[in-house]
Amino acid sequence: MTVETAAPETRPFEADVAKLLHLMVHSVYSDKDVFFRELISNAADACEKLRFEALSDASLMPGEAPFRIDVTLDPEAKQLTIEDNGIGMSEADLSEALGTIARSGTKAFMERVAGSKEAEGSHFIGQFGVGFYSAFMVADEVEVVTRRAGSDQAWRWRSDGLGTYTIQPVDVAEAPARGTRVTLHLKDDAATYADAYTAESTIKSQSGHVPVPIWLKEKPDAEPRQIADGAALWMRPKSELKPEDYTDFYRSFAGQYDEPALTLHYRAEGLHEYSVLAFVPESKPFDLFDPDRAGRLKLYVRRVFITDEAEILPRYLRFVRGLVDSADLPLNVSREMIQESPALAAIKKGVTNRVLSELEKLADKEPERYLKIWDTFGPVLKEGLYEDYGRRAALLSLARFKTTGSGSEWRSLKDYVANLKEGQDAIYYAVGTDLDRLLASPQLEGFRARGIDVLLLPDHVDSFWVTGGIEYEGKPFRSVTQGLADLGKIKLTEGEADSADVSDEVGGFIAFAKTVLGDSVSDVRASERLRESAVCLVAPDTGMDRQLERLLASAGRAPAPSKPVLEINPRHELVERLSRLSESETSLREDAAHLLFDEARIADGEAPLDPRGFSARLARVLTRAAG
Query: Can you give the pLDDT at residue 25?
Result: 58
Cβ–Cβ under 8 Å, residues 155 and 169: yes
**How far apart are alpha carbons 356 and 368 in whole angstroms?**
17
- Check whether 127 is labelled as a binding-site residue: yes
Who's near 342: CB < 8 A, 6+ residues apart? none
Sign of CA dihedral 592, 594, 597, 603: negative
Query: Can you give the pLDDT at residue 174?
Result: 93
CATH 3.40.1550.10 fits 234-370, yes or no: no
- Decide if pLDDT at 377 tops 80: yes
Residue range 503-515: average pLDDT? 93
Most confident range (mean pLDDT) of 59-68, 159-168, 283-292, 521-530 is: 521-530
Query: Can you give the pLDDT at residue 125?
Result: 36
User: Per-residue pLDDT tens for 231-272?
Assistant: 888 988 999 999 999 998 898 787 777 899 999 999 999 889
Who's near 593: CB < 8 A, 6+ residues apart? 512, 513, 516, 517
Query: Can you give the pLDDT at residue 334?
Result: 56
The Cβ of residue 12 has, within 10 Å, a number of other Cβ atoms equal to 11
User: Which of the two residues, 407 and 354, has the higher pLDDT score?
Assistant: 354
- Check whether 388 is labelled as a binding-site residue: no
Query: Can you give the pLDDT at residue 51?
Result: 87
Who's near 584: CB < 8 A, 6+ residues apart? none
Query: Can you give the pLDDT at residue 331?
Result: 62
**How far apart are alpha carbons 157 and 167 in whole angstroms?**
5
- Decide if pLDDT at 113 tops 70: no
Choose among 80, 51, 296, 297: nearest CA to 178: 51
Residue range 300-329: average pLDDT? 86
User: Per-residue pLDDT tens for 465-498?
Assistant: 988 788 999 999 999 988 777 787 788 876 665 5
Helices (H) and strands (E) counted in the chain, each on its own, are: 21, 23
- Decide if pLDDT at 96 tops 70: yes
User: Which of the two residues, 535 and 16, has the higher pLDDT score?
Assistant: 535
Cβ–Cβ under 8 Å, residues 311 and 298: no
CATH of 9-217, one of 3.30.1360.30, 1.20.1250.20, 3.40.50.12780, 3.30.565.10: 3.30.565.10
Instruction: Please tell me the least confidently modeled range out of 19-33, 211-225, 263-277.
Output: 19-33
* Angle, helix 34-56 to helix 243-254, in steps of 10 degrees: 70
Tell me the sheet residues that pair with 265: 277
Kindly indicate the confidence band of residue 124, based on its pLDDT and cuts at 50, 70 and 90.
very low
- Check whether 180 is labelled as a binding-site residue: yes
| 342, containing H or E segment | helix 342-365
**How far apart are alpha carbons 105 and 288 in whole angstroms?**
12
- Check whether 322 is labelled as a binding-site residue: no
Query: Can you give the pLDDT at residue 434?
Result: 86
| 72, containing H or E segment | strand 69-74
Q: Superfamily assignment of 504-539+549-626 in CATH?
A: Heat shock protein 90, C-terminal domain (1.20.120.790)
- Decide if pLDDT at 14 tops 80: no
- Decide if pLDDT at 385 tops 80: yes
User: Per-residue pLDDT tens for 62-71?
Assistant: 776 789 999 9
CA dist 460 → 199, 264, 494, 551, 555 (Å): 47, 30, 36, 8, 12
Topology match between the domains 9-217 and 234-370: no
Query: Can you give the pLDDT at residue 118?
Result: 43
Query: Can you give the pLDDT at residue 604?
Result: 87
- Check whether 128 is labelled as a binding-site residue: yes
Query: Can you give the pLDDT at residue 204?
Result: 84
The structural domains of the chain, with segments of one domain joined by +, span 9-217, 234-370, 504-539+549-626
User: Per-residue pLDDT tens for 447-464?
Assistant: 998 999 999 999 988 988
User: Which of the two residues, 342 and 546, has the higher pLDDT score?
Assistant: 342
- Check whether 132 is labelled as a binding-site residue: yes
Instruction: Please tell me the least confidently modeled range out of 115-124, 334-343, 601-610.
Output: 115-124
Instruction: Please tell me the least confidently modeled range out of 76-80, 210-214, 304-308.
Output: 304-308
Residue range 332-360: average pLDDT? 84
Q: What percentage of the chain exceeds 90 in pLDDT?
A: 53
- Check whether 464 is labelled as a binding-site residue: no
Residue range 529-535: average pLDDT? 92
- Check whether 131 is labelled as a binding-site residue: yes
Who's near 353: CB < 8 A, 6+ residues apart? 391
**How far apart are alpha carbons 19 and 11 in whole angstroms?**
16
Kindly indicate the confidence band of residue 306, based on its pLDDT and cuts at 50, 70 and 90.
confident
Indicate the pTM of the whole model.
0.71
Choose among 53, 52, 54, 47: nearest CA to 88: 47
Query: Can you give the pLDDT at residue 133?
Result: 81
Dihedral, 8, 12, 14, 17 alpha carbons, nearest 10: 90
The residue length of the chain stands at: 627
- Check whether 105 is labelled as a binding-site residue: yes
Strand residues in 492-625 grouped as ranges (E) = 523-526, 535-538, 565-568
Choose among 383, 377, 316, 302: nearest CA to 352: 316
Who's near 188: CB < 8 A, 6+ residues apart? 78
User: Which of the two residues, 218 and 540, has the higher pLDDT score?
Assistant: 218
- Check whether 104 is labelled as a binding-site residue: yes
Who's near 101: CB < 8 A, 6+ residues apart? 14, 16, 17, 20, 129, 130, 133
**How far apart are alpha carbons 394 and 416 in whole angstroms?**
16
